[in-house]
């Protein structure tokens, strides 16, 4: 099986091109591929499928030719991945499968519009975040109140008073399973300037990662909420680099680098 490896601000993915729809990505196979010692190593897998061959895609989404079948490192499915869809887009462009600079990609969370910037960065229209109420995460015995934001996938974005660098994110943070029955991605951030935050994330199904695109938008929403804003541009510094999030009245945009670093033949099988 052919694969490629790519990342967006070091949120890394194995890409499995599957234009004919023959690749069966079981949870066990995904977990083996993502294993950083026994596999290739990644935060997730992006299967590149044709929308018309994908049963999970709605009628409306079939306007996009390609469907991002995203899996977390533990093999679980997620609705959306902001960095993943940008790396997916980079692959489609490099492979000549779409016409840049603007095209659409179908995801379980709906169709996402992509724009390749003159700089080479990739912007994705992430849709309008849905803000629910507050909830609480606990890390290392400390409780942090955050904002429950739905980006297609669930997030709890918590502002903390101290620098996020000192947090121990080697274990799953606590959260309210009554609010998040399907699990949640937890962002912890501290503001470091005007419209600028530093963020770390513990992702559902993948553990701590060096970046999370949907999490960066959820964090920008939470930071905007704290400063009484609803629109504007936020710089989100993550361990793997810097993302830019723009919020307007109708939608949100995520911009950053998306890079393919390798390709090869996968020897792992079912
Ligand atoms: N890293 C992603 C989010 C991937 C999915 C997430 N772990 C979930 O289960 O919802 C991003 O860049 O958005």
3-state secondary structure of 220: helix
218: nearest Cα among 242, 194, 186, 248? 186
Q: Is 183 left (phi over 0), alpha (psi -120 to 50) or beta?
A: left
| 88 and 160 fall within a common domain | no
55 and 94 share one domain: yes
**Residue 270, domain member (yes or no):** no
Phi, psi (rounded to 5 degrees) for 95 = -85, 0
Q: Are both 34 and 148 inside the same structural domain?
A: no
The CB density around residue 105, as the number of other CB atoms within 10 Å, is 24
Residue 268, pLDDT > 90, answer no
Residues 76 and 158 in one domain: no
pLDDT tens for each residue of 150-174: 999 999 999 998 899 999 999 999 9
Q: Does residue 194 sit within a domain? A: yes
Inter-CA distances, 265 with 3, 5, 40, 84, 125, Å = 6, 11, 11, 21, 32
Domain presence at residue 120: yes
Give yes or no: residues 111 and 139 share one domain: no
The per-residue pLDDT for range 224-253, each reduced to its tens digit, is: 999 999 999 999 999 999 999 999 999 999
Is residue 112 in some structural domain?
A: yes
- Domain holding 40, by residue range, is 2-125+257-265
Question: Average pLDDT for residues 3-21, to the nearest whole number?
Answer: 97
Looking at the fold, whether 29 and 58 belong to one and the same domain comes out as yes
Is there a single domain that holds both residue 118 and residue 8? yes
87 CA distance to ligand 1 middle (Å):
13
Length of the chain counted residue by residue:
270
Q: Taking Cα atoms as reference points, which of 165, 149, 139, 167 lies closest to residue 237?
A: 165
Rounded CA-CA distance 51/12 in Å is: 23
Same domain, 45 and 90: yes
**Token duo for residue 226:** 């704290």
Q: What is the pLDDT of residue 58?
A: 67
Claim to verify: residue 34 and residue 118 sit in the same structural domain: yes
For the segment 80-105, the average pLDDT, to the nearest whole number, is 98
The model carries a pTM of 0.97
The answer to the question of whether 153 is labelled as a binding residue is yes
Task: Tell me the pLDDT band of 53, cut-offs 50, 70 and 90.
Answer: confident
Positions marked active-site: 81, 212
Residue in 154, 145, 227 with CA at minimum distance from that of residue 188: 145
Residues 157 and 117 in one domain: no
Domain harbouring 37, CATH code? 3.10.310.10
Domain count, the chain: 2
Say what the pLDDT of residue 155 is: 98
Q: Is residue 86 part of a domain?
A: yes
Distance CA 148, CA 44 (A): 23
* 54 and 136 assigned to the same domain: no
Residue nearest atom 2 in ligand 1 by C-alpha distance: 81
Are 103 and 170 in a shared domain?
A: no
Give a yes or no: residue 74 inside a domain. yes
Residue located nearest, by CA, to atom 4 of ligand 1: 81
β-bridge mates for residue 265, sequence order: 2
Q: Is 21 annotated as a binding residue?
A: no
Contacting residues for 210 by C-beta, under 8 A, at least 6 apart: 9, 10, 11, 238, 239, 240
């Amino acid at each position: 099986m052919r694969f490629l490896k790519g990342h967006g601000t070091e949120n890394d993915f194995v890409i499995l091109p599957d234009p004919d729809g023959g690749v069966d990505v079981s949870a066990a196979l995904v977990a083996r591929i993502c294993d950083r010692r026994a596999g290739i190593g990644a935060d997730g897998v992006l299967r590149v499928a044709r929308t018309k061959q994908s049963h999970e895609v709605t009628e409306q989404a079939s306007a996009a030719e390609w469907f991002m079948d995203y899996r977390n490192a533990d093999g679980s499915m997620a609705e959306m991945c902001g960095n993943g869809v940008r790396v997916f887009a980079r692959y489609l462009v490099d492979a000549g499968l779409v016409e840049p600079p603007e095209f659409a990609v179908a995801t379980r969370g709906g169709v996402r519009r992509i724009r390749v910037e003159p700089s080479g960065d990739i912007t994705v229209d992430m849709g309008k975040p849905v803000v629910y109420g507050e909830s609480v995460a606990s890390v290392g015995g400390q409780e942090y109140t955050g904002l429950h934001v739905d980006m297609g996938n669930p997030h709890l974005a918590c502002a903390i008073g101290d620098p996020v660098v000192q947090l121990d994110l080697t274990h799953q943070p606590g959260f309210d399973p009554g609010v998040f029955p399907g699990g949640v991605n937890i962002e912890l951030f501290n503001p470091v300037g005007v419209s600028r935050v530093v963020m770390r994330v513990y992702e559902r199904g993948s553990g701590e990662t060096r970046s999370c695109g949907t999490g960066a938008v959820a964090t920008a929403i939470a930071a905007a909420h704290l400063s009484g804003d609803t629109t504007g541009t936020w710089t989100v510094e993550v361990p793997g680099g810097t993302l830019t999030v723009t919020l307007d009245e109708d939608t949100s945009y995520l911009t950053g680098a998306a890079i393919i670093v390798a390709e090869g033949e996968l020897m792992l099988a079912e």
